[in-house]
Structure formats: structure tokens, C-alpha cells
Amino acid sequence: MISTAHQPALVIFDCDGTLIDSQHVIVAAMTYAFESRDRVAPSREDTLSIVGLSLFEAVHRLVPDEAPDVIRSIAEDYKAAFNRLRAETGDREPLYTGARETIERLGANERSLLGIATGKSRRGVDHFLEREKFNAQFATIQTADTARSKPDPDMIHQALGETGVDAGRAVMIGDTTYDMEMGHAAGVLTVGVSWGYHDVETLRQVGADHIVDTFDELTDLLQERFSFGLSGNV
């Protein structure tokens, strides 16, 4: 492992609710999945509350008393509906303002490495990266396909192992309590964003180290913490 003093910083982003706003497709797909199994669809608030978890865990939290085979069926219907809706609506999962500039700037900086830790499938992440032409920007990508669901720290542990970065030189950036809890369990800095799917007060209650309102604020915070050598805002 590279000595900590000479390591780049590993900046790990959540996806949905942090980099992209996918709430409309997520809610519509979950509603379809429940109704297709003759179940009452969860409210918009309840659906957004589980964004970030692996799909099986997310559905289980919505219907904890259902049998595992029913949960798996709902999850499969959700995946099919999500893919169909994404194709029909022309990718209604826009980047949040400032996300592209931040990723491109940090990705080009030799003192930072970028990572993703998300409850999305690898297929979903690959679609996102291809669509936004971000394929070369991320040094490590962790999904629910190959890691335990948030808030377990497995994704971050794998990201640190793949990049050789010490936990003290890493940060987890996300919009949910699961992101903050995962980051704390892995011993990395946690930064909550105010524009996502969990409210700021809830992020504070689970111990987010910092809360930011814009990507410019995020860049300034990372520059101060890790001395990236960036000048000016993104």
C-alpha cells in the first residue's frame, strides 16, 4: 500500500439522489411492481426512503412480512419496469447541477481518485456511465451485485482495497442515512448532500460529518480537507 502521506484521496459517490435524479422512474417502477403482484403500492415517500439499498433489501423493508419468494418477484418486476420506463421516457435521470463539472474536474486531478458505491446493479451503473461518457473517470465501482447492501461497509472496504487508499484519505458522499452509516462503519469521512432523498436533519441525526448544499461547496470542502491543489470553484 502507498504511504498515506503520498496517497491520492478516494472520493466515493453514491448514484441515485446524489449524482442523478432518478426519483420519477424509481417511484413509477416500484408502483408498477407492487400493483402487478396485487399489492398496495408504497407511497412516494416510502419508496424514496429505501433508495440506496440493494433491491431485495429495499423491497423487504417496504413489505417486511412478505415471503422471500414474493419479495423476489416484486424485485424482478421492478427491474423489468425500470428498464422499460427508462427506455420509453428517454432516460429521465438527469445529472444534478454541477455534477458533471465536479466529476470531470476531480477525475482529471492527479491527487484524487473517484469511486462509486451504489445500490444500483452494475448494469444500471454501466448504462449511466456510458450515457454520460464517464467510463474513464472512476477508479472503482461497487454495486449491490458484488457487495453487501448498505449500510454494511463492504462496498467501501472493497473500494479501499482496489485502490490501495487508506480510510483516512477517503470520503463517502451521499444523500441517505445508509450512505452516512456505511461511511462511518468503514472509518471514512462522510458528506451528506441536501438535494437528495433523505432530509438534512435525518442525515445529521446519523452523524454526517458535513452537509453541503451545492457541488461547489463540496469541491471547496474536499479541497480544504485533502489539499487537491484546485483553484476556484467548479
Quick: pLDDT tens for 6-25. Answer: 689 999 999 999 999 999 99
What domains lie within the chain, and their CATH numbers?
Answer: 4-21+94-226 (3.40.50.1000), 23-88 (1.10.150)
Full-model pTM: 0.90
Largest CA distance in the chain: 57
Mean pLDDT across 138-165: 97
Quick: pLDDT tens for 155-187. Answer: 999 999 999 999 999 999 999 999 999 999 999
145, 18, 92, 144 alpha-carbon torsion, rounded to 10°: 10
Residue that the C-alpha cell 418477484 belongs to: 73
